[in-house]
Amino acid sequence: MKPYVIINAAMTVDGKIDTVERKGAGISSAEDRRRVLELRASVDAVLVGGHTLNSENPKLTVKDPLLAAQRLAAGLPENPAKVGIVTRAELDPDGDFIKAGPARRLIFTTPQTSAEQLAMLTAAGVEVLVHDGKRVDLGLALETLETLGIKRLMLEGGGTLIAEFIRLGFGNELQLYVAPKLFGGANAPTLVAGDGWSESEAKTLALVEVRVLDSAGGLLLCYLLQK
Ligand SMILES: NC(=O)c1ccc[n+]([C@@H]2O[C@H](COP(=O)([O-])OP(=O)(O)OC[C@H]3O[C@@H](n4cnc5c(N)ncnc54)[C@H](OP(=O)(O)O)[C@@H]3O)[C@@H](O)[C@H]2O)c1
C-alpha cells in the first residue's frame, strides 16, 4: 500500500519552477501561499526532493496557528510529518527542515550520506532510513510511509522528484499554481525534469478544476494523473 499523493507546485507561464539562478524564486501569490498552507494542513506528510532540501532547507510547516489548532482539535499532530528524499544529505543542523516544528521528520537516503551527517540527523531526532543502491527506492519509501500511518501525502517538488513520481505512476493528483510571470532560460528548472518521454509515452491528465486565484491573474489548475 502507498499513500495518496498530491503533487503541488507553483510555476510561471513558461513552465519554470525557479529561475536559472536556482535560489528558490518566489512564484506564489498571497492567495496561493494560503492555499498551500491549507493543503499542507490536510495531509499526513509533506515530501521534498534532495536538491530542494539541501539548498532551500524549507520549513514545510502549516505556519497558521488556526490551522495548527484545527489539526490538534482533530487529534492530529500540529504539523504534518516532514519527509526528505535525498541521495546525499547535507543538511544544516540549525536549518528550518530540522528546527521548524514541532513535526515528525524523516529522511530517506543512501550510503552516500556521510556517517557524520547521519549521526547529526539522528541526534536531532530525525528518523533516518538508508536504502542500499544509488538512489532512494521511491516505492519502498512510500510503502514505509504508509505503514507509519501516512495515508495522504503532498509532494512539494522539485522537478526531478516530480518526474520520478509521475514516471513510476506514484502521483494521484496535481495541483498547479500558474503565475502570470515568465522566467525564461533553457536551464531554469521546469515542473517535470528527468529524461522526459517520447510523444507516444506522454502522460495524460484529467482536468478537474480551473480557478482564477488572485487579482493578479494567477491560475489554479487541478488534474488527476491517469495511470
Ligand atoms: N516552484 C515550486 O513549486 C518549487 C517547489 C520545490 C522546488 N522548486 C525548485 O526546484 C529546484 C530543485 O529541483 P531539482 O529537480 O533540482 O531537485 P529535487 O527534485 O528537489 O531533488 C531531487 C533529489 O532527490 C534525490 N533522489 C534520491 N532518490 C531519488 C529517486 N529515486 N528519484 C529521483 N530523485 C531521487 C536526487 O538525488 P541525485 O540526483 O543526487 O541522485 C536529488 O537529490 C530548485 O530550483 C527549487 O527552487 C520549486
**pLDDT tens track for 53-106:** 888 888 999 999 999 999 999 999 999 999 999 999 999 999 999 999 899 999
Residue 163: other Cβ atoms inside 10 A: 19
Sign of the C-alpha dihedral, residues 196, 202, 207, 211? positive
Q: Determine whether the shortest distance from the Cβ of 160 to ligand 1 is under 6 A.
A: yes
CA distance 142 to 190: 24
Which atom, in ligand 1's list, is nearest to the CA of 161?
Answer: 19
* Mean pLDDT across 114-122: 97
For 30, the 3-state DSSP assignment is: helix
pLDDT at 54: 85
Domain containing residue 186: 4-225
pLDDT at 55: 86
Q: Where are the alpha helices (DSSP H) in the chain?
A: 30-41, 50-56, 65-73, 96-99, 115-123, 138-147, 159-167
Would you give the distance in Å from CA 142 to the centre of its chain? Answer: 13
Specify the number of domains making up the chain: 1
Contact indicator for 156, 45 with CB cutoff of 8 Å = no
CA distance 97 to 205: 32
CA of 46 to the centre of ligand 1 (A): 14
The mean pLDDT value of the chain amounts to 96
Question: Cell match 547529526: residue?
Answer: 120
Question: Cell match 500500500: residue?
Answer: 1
CA of 72 to the centre of ligand 1 (A): 31
pLDDT at 133: 93
CA of 70 to the centre of ligand 1 (A): 31
Q: Any idea which of 58-62, 186-190, 193-197, 223-227 has the lowest mean pLDDT?
A: 223-227
Strand-pair category, 173-179 with 219-225: antiparallel
Task: Give backbone dihedrals phi and psi of 208, rounded to 5 degrees, phi first.
Answer: -115, -20
CATH code of 29's domain: 3.40.430.10
Mutate to test the pocket of ligand 1, among 14, 20, 87 (most ligand atoms within 8 A of CB): 87
Closest CA to 146 of 192, 111, 106, 91: 106
Contact indicator for 1, 139 with CB cutoff of 8 Å = no
Is pLDDT of 196 > 80? yes
- Give the model's confidence band at 114: pLDDT under 50 very low, under 70 low, under 90 confident, else very high: very high
Which atom, in ligand 1's list, is nearest to the CA of 48?
Answer: 20
Alpha-carbon radius of gyration of the chain: 17
